[in-house]
Amino acid sequence: MTRTNAREIVVHLIYGINYTKETADEAMVSRFAQDYYETLQEENDIYAERPNQKQLAYIAQVVNGIEQKQEELNGYITKYAIGWNLDRISRLARSIMQLAMYESLYVEDVPTSAAISEAVELTRKYEDEDVVSFVNGILGSFAREVAQ
């Protein structure tokens, strides 16, 4: 499994947590249960391969980190989504931006440019071009602040 696929799984987990109100740990246990994980393969190709221990550790670190830093990450989104209420932004786009911001700030081996590039491509997979531009604009503003 690639880091790109692991990122997509993180987004699915964060998105799901927003609906179910599970904790990050609960979501990890339920989604990675052998019987349940195998059913996900039918829905999305990224679940064709089960993450190895290193990938599971990355996924758990990021999902837990986003849960812990959600207020901070949403603060950045709100700051750069000028004229937009956080609730108007799709949960999926918000989850993708949270991932990119978290990686930029807290995952040492992920350059900000890589986190943003991956986020834009992931957004492109699930959303229309207007949302892709919106996400790219917010993350670009965020990246300029982080670089200072």
Per-residue pLDDT of the chain (148 residues; tens, 9 = 90+): 889 999 999 999 999 998 898 999 999 999 999 889 989 988 899 999 899 999 999 999 999 999 999 999 999 999 999 989 899 999 999 999 999 999 999 999 999 999 999 999 999 999 999 999 999 999 999 999 887 7
Query: Full-prediction pTM beyond 0.85?
Result: yes
3-state secondary structure of 128: coil
First to last CA, the chain: 34
Amino acid letter, residue 95: S
The sign of the CA dihedral 131, 133, 134, 136 is positive
3-state secondary structure of 83: coil
What whole-number distance in Å separates Cα of residue 33 and Cα of residue 45? 17
Note whether 74 and 113 are within 8 A (CB): no
User: Could you tell me the maximum CA-CA distance found in the chain, to the nearest angstrom?
Assistant: 47
